Amino acid sequence: MSVDLIIRPIEASDRPEWTRLWTAYLTFYKTALPPEVYDSSFARLISDDPHEYCGLIAILDGTPVGLAHYLFHRDMWSIEDTCYMMDLFVDPDIRGTGAGRALIEAVSDKARAHGVSVLYWHTEDTNHTAQRLYDRLATKMPFLKYDKDLKKA
């Protein structure tokens, strides 16, 4: 990992680079979202509301190269809150440099400081590149995720 890698909270001035990174992340997952979702999501990330998502940005040699979005929330299986990392993305050109690991560790540090004992996230079962990193940092759980579209009848 480069000594010039900086992980810091997302700021309002990061909007153009965050948009570029998040668009690349969504493209990786073959999805697109309307501008109002970008606006709402970014507003949440820079909000001071402790119940909103938080965001980190990775900057390598002065260039934003990655992001992580996470949320603290209650957990029915423990007294402490838990931390969900919803999004993690690193520019494909710099993968393998330690930026992804640094983002996960930075979210872990934020979670520990918040009194959280578990950080969790999901990935697609076909995302084998990410899973190689995740398998070194966390325990793969045997759960499947189900989504019910509530807009359909």
CATH number, residue 50: 3.40.630.30
Nearby residues of 137 by Cβ (< 8 Å), 6 or more positions away: 101, 104
Six-digit token string for 86: 């919803």
99 domain residue, yes or no: yes
The pLDDT assigned to 145 comes to 87
In a domain, 151, yes or no: no
CB 45 within 8 A of CB 80: no
* Model pLDDT for residues 68-93, shown as the tens digit of each residue: 999 999 999 999 999 999 999 999 99
Q: What does the pLDDT look like over 123-140, one tens digit per residue?
A: 999 999 999 999 999 999
| 147 found inside a domain | no
Residue 50 is assigned to a structural domain of this protein: yes
Per the structure, how many domains does the chain have?
Answer: 1
Q: Identify whether 132 is part of a domain.
A: yes
| Residue of 53, 25, 23, 50 whose CA lies nearest to 38 | 23
The pLDDT score that the predictor gives to residue 40 is: 98
* Domain limits for position 100: 5-137
Give the model's confidence band at 152: pLDDT under 50 very low, under 70 low, under 90 confident, else very high: confident
Q: 115 falls in which pLDDT band (50, 70, 90)? A: very high
Domain-located, residue 11: yes
Contact criterion met (CB below 8 Å) for 5 and 59: yes
Q: Tell me the pLDDT of the chain averaged across its residues.
A: 94
CB-based contacts of 118: which residues, under 8 Å, 6+ apart? 75, 78, 80, 82, 83
Is residue 130 assigned to a domain? yes
Quote the pTM value. Answer: 0.93
pLDDT > 90: percent of the chain: 88
131 lies in some domain: yes
List pLDDT tens digits, range 47-64. 999 999 999 999 999 999
